[in-house]
Amino acid sequence: MAEKISRVILFVNDVSNCAEFYKKVLKLKVIGKEDPGWTELNAGSCSLALHKTGGKGRGKFHNNFKIVFYKKDVKKAKISLEKKGVKMGKIFIFDGMSFCDGSDPEGNRFQISDR
């Protein structure tokens, strides 16, 4: 199904502070621009994205991460996964990219995305 892991998203309370940590300690470089709500860093074969969480804790999800798999045709991949019994959310289009979230059997979130 997936061609490669393109991104790992960490949901954090303080994007700027975490970005500084990854830049200084692991020497990762920022991709694009830094933002208090989202910063993406080059981690080699995939990127590490820091996404602002909605407050204390992890909200309605039981983990603070999401693995993103690249797939050129998100709609086709979603249909294929659903035929295999995977619960998938709706497809969103944002800033020129399409993406769709799903969960593994233990509730760990993943995403398929054309970016």
Q: Mean pLDDT throughout 28-42?
A: 95
Higher-scoring residue by pLDDT: 58, 100:
100
Tell me the three state secondary structure of residue 10. strand
Query: What is the fold of 4-113?
Result: 2,3-Dihydroxybiphenyl 1,2-Dioxygenase; domain 1 (3.10.180)
What is the pairing mode between strands 29-31 and 65-70?
unpaired
What token pair was written down for 44?
Answer: 């080699």
Give the model confidence (pLDDT) of 38-97 as tens digits.
Answer: 999 999 999 999 999 876 554 555 578 899 999 999 999 999 999 999 999 999 999 999
Q: What is the pTM of this model?
A: 0.78
pLDDT (average), residues 20-37: 93
Whether 73 and 114 have beta carbons less than 8 Å apart is answered as yes
Nearest to 115 by CA among 19, 47, 64, 43: 47
- Which sign, positive or negative, has the C-alpha torsion 97, 102, 26, 13? positive
Distances (CA, A) of 92 to 30, 67, 78, 105, 114: 25, 17, 12, 23, 11
Report which of residues 56 and 100 the model is more confident about: 100
Chain-centroid distance, C-alpha 26: 20
H or E element, residue 44 = none
List the structure tokens of 96: 């020129």
Query: For the chain, what are the domain ranges?
Result: 4-113
